[in-house]
Amino acid sequence: MSMTTGEGVVVEVSELRMRYGSNDVLDGVEFQVHRGEVITLLGPNGAGKTTTIEILEGFRMRSAGRVSVLGVDPAEGSEDWRARVGVVLQSWRDHARWTPRALLTHLGRYYEPYSTPQRSRPYDVEELIRVVGIEEQAEQKIRTLSGGQRRRLDVAVGIIGRPELLFLDEPTAGFDPQARREFHDIVHRLSDLEDTTILLTTHDLDEAEKLADRILILAGGRIVADGSADQLARQVTREAQVRWSQNGEHFVHATPDATGFVRTLLEQHDDIADLEVRRATLEDTYIAMVQQHETGHPDQAAIAFEEVEL
């Protein structure tokens, strides 16, 4: 089944439902992803992020709804479609005896028949090894790699076919800050230079804010928010907090018009110090939205809680 898809729309999801027994994990998910966008899917544990991504990857059958990925229903995605999609999987102990160079070379060969003048496939293995920063481990057995090095290899495997669309499920879990920074550089590079559309899930709000053009919040089986970090913050509260001190005393004032308030403040007093204007952070927004949602749907909040307990 092929859907009519708008210009530049890479992923289109509507009325997506996923039911396990009597539990609706996804209950009418709707969103779109446009070419070249970096989208982050946020949500509490058990909200269905992984389920959603696996349906889009074509690894899981949905219960109902329409899904189109690169113009194709992933449930019926052909191998030719598969060549255009990259999936970053979490390696655990697979290919323990192989070296990163041998594995990348081998997996890359599957993409050779899908090379086009616009997109030469696969990626050059040596370049890729450099891009993800595993030059020194390229000839080591994969089982001797550290967790962070393995994740870089996973990313390399995910992009070896120069995908038009890349899925990453919690790519930086277990990364140290340095590795995380380098991973962010890779994502920016893919998005800017390779025109790759990227959909990733994360628990790290700071990461979501840094990487994403647009953030989707999935809670209780629905997309409850969709927009840039800034837009989401404004949906929760239009007010900003202004903090300052005067004569050693500290003050806080919440206002929808921070600029106007600060102007007046500075005009009226000349001993203002420690001035600080703070908009709601993505974390404030996220917590507020998930809470709003959960108080509205106590039953689904309970489901999320149960899954955390497991």
Partner 1 sequence: MNSTTHAIKTGLGRGWTEFMLSLKSPQDQGFYAFTSGGVLLYLFLNRTNEVEGTSLFYTTLALPSILGALLVFSLVIGPAYSLAMEREDGTLLRAKAVPRGLIGHFTGHILLNTLSLIPSFLIILIPGAFLFEDMMQNGLRGWVTVIWVVLLGLLATLPIGMVIGALVPGVQKVGTWGMLPILVLLGISGIFSPMDGLWDWVQTVSQIFPMYWVGIGMRSAFLPDAAAVLEIGESWRTLQTVAVLGAWAVAGALITPGVLRRMARRQSGSTVEAAKEQALQWVR
Q: How far is the CB of 168 from partner 1 (least distance, A)?
A: 11
- Least distance to partner 1 from the beta carbon of 272, Å? 53
Dist CA 223 CA 39 (whole Å): 13
Contacts with partner 1, 102-121, as mask; x by CB under 8 A: x---xx-xxxxxx-------
Count CB-CB contacts under 10 A for residue 32.
18
For partner 1, give the closer residue by CB, 90 or 281.
Answer: 90
CB of 34 to partner 1, least distance (A): 24
Residue selected from 25, 33, 38, 157 as contacting partner 1 according to rule CB under 8 A? 157
By CB under 8 A, residue 261 contacts partner 1: no
* Interaction between residue 150 and partner 1 (CB under 8 A): no
- Side chain identity at residue 184, one-letter code: H
CB 179 within 8 A of CB 146: no
CA neighbours within 13 Å on the CB side: how many for 279?
16
Report the site for partner 1 in 25-84 (rule: CB under 8 A).
50-51, 53-54, 57, 59-60, 79-80, 82-83
Residue (110 or 261) nearer to partner 1, CB: 110
Give the residues lining the site for partner 1 (CB under 8 A): 50-51, 53-54, 57, 59-60, 79-80, 82-83, 87, 89-95, 97-98, 102, 106-107, 109-114, 157-158, 161, 169
